[in-house]
Structure formats: C-alpha cells, structure tokens
Chain A
Amino acid sequence: DTGVSQDPRHKITKRGQNVTFRCDPISEHNRLYWYRQTLGQGPEFLTYFQNEAQLEKSRLLSDRFSAERPKGSFSTLEIQRTEQGDSAMYLCASSTLDRGDNEKLFFGSGTQLSVL
C-alpha cells in the first residue's frame, strides 16, 4: 500500500517528556501537512512543507513544536516538554498540485497522543 503512513499510532507520555512522530507521505507527493485534532473539533492546521521547505507554521504553535522534512521525503513532528494540553490526534496529510492548481489531500491514520 502506498498511502500515507504515520508512526506510532498511539503514544502515551508523561508531562515534560519529549515526543517525536513520523509521517511517510505518498511517494510522488511534494506537499506534506501536519494537523492537530481534538475531540469534536475539525483538524487544526499546524504547518506544511513543499518538498523540504517549510512554507508556513501556525501562530498557534509554540516554540516547543518543531517539524522537519529532510530531503523532502518523510517528516517528523517533535513536541518538547509536553503538556497535558498537547493531548490530541496528530494528523499528517500529503498532496500534489494538478495542472489546474487543484490540491487533493490524502490523510494518514493519525497518532493519538496522551500526556499524563
């Protein structure tokens, strides 16, 4: 299967610990997005990459969050010094632009983070 893969599926950590999530996009997709979703809410934009360049980062993201996409392939999202408010589903999506400049997102299954 060549869909979007996220690892791990679930992560339980203690407050103050650092966590890192990985996303492997669909291979031919040059855009990669990270979203955060809490119960009953829609996905909240965090950041996105075009190839290896991080084009935008949400102002909602504190300095404890960092994302990378070395070589424009997989991406990692790191949260330092986790807080209970970081508990959420972290979703990754990838896409590419077609000739009409349309962009269709394909999502992974997400990483559910629980901070105790």
Chain B
Amino acid sequence: KQEVTQIPAALSVPEGENLVLNCSFTDSAIYNLQWFRQDPGKGLTSLLLIQSSQREQTSGRLNASLDKSSGRSTLYIAASQPGDSATYLCAVRDDKIIFGKGTRLHILP
C-alpha cells in the first residue's frame, strides 16, 4: 500500500530565504508525482508535475526533483515571498493518486 510522507509538517522562514520541502513515498513504482499548493479553505492548485522518467521540473522560482529509486521528491522555492505562504502537498500516482498530509509554510515578512 502506497504511503506518502511530507516533512516538515510546518515551516516558518524569513522572506527572501530559499527553502526545501520534502516528500517521500513507499512504493517507487509510480507513473508521476505532482506538487500542489492549497490556500486556507480553498481547493488545490497544481504547481508542477514530474513524470517518472524525469529528474526535475522548473516553473519560475519553483524547482521540483524526483528520485524514484529512493522514493523521494523535493520542492525547492527560491527567494521566498509572503505570498508563498500556503500548504504544499505532494501526490503520487500508481493505480490511483495518493496525497501526503502537506507542509504548512509561513513566510515571515
């Protein structure tokens, strides 16, 4: 049974710092991994999707990496801004799509 873990559960950093969020999964036989952002009381917004054959994907200040063999992905956020404050979730797809519990990120002005 696939399990997805995100560490840390919560993170506070000063504005301008670079940061890394972690996601690990137990079964490496995945098709793809997707990172999402969720603002309080809202739905999920897709940030990046990494195919199983890819090592990383970039979008603006965001870079996501995937090491399928070790069951790990990271989301790197460069030059953090207060508007980046949200919960970040990763989801892996094997026969269905399973989510981690998320990392609550707070960027301090």
- Chain A, interface size: which category? 20 to 34
**Interface pick from B12-20, B78-86, B94-102:** B94-102
Total number of residue pairs linking A and B with CB closer than 8 Å: 64
**A42 interface contact, C-beta 8 A:** yes
Chain B nearest CB from A9 CB (Å) reads 10
**B109 interface contact, C-beta 8 A:** no
Indicate which residue in A41, A91, A106 contacts B101 across the interface (CB closer than 8 Å): A41
Could you jot down 19 A-B contacts, CB within 8 Å?
A41-B102, A42-B4, A42-B89, A43-B44, A43-B89, A44-B99, A45-B96, A45-B99, A48-B96, A91-B43, A100-B53, A102-B51, A104-B49, A105-B34, A105-B36, A105-B44, A105-B91, A107-B45, A110-B42
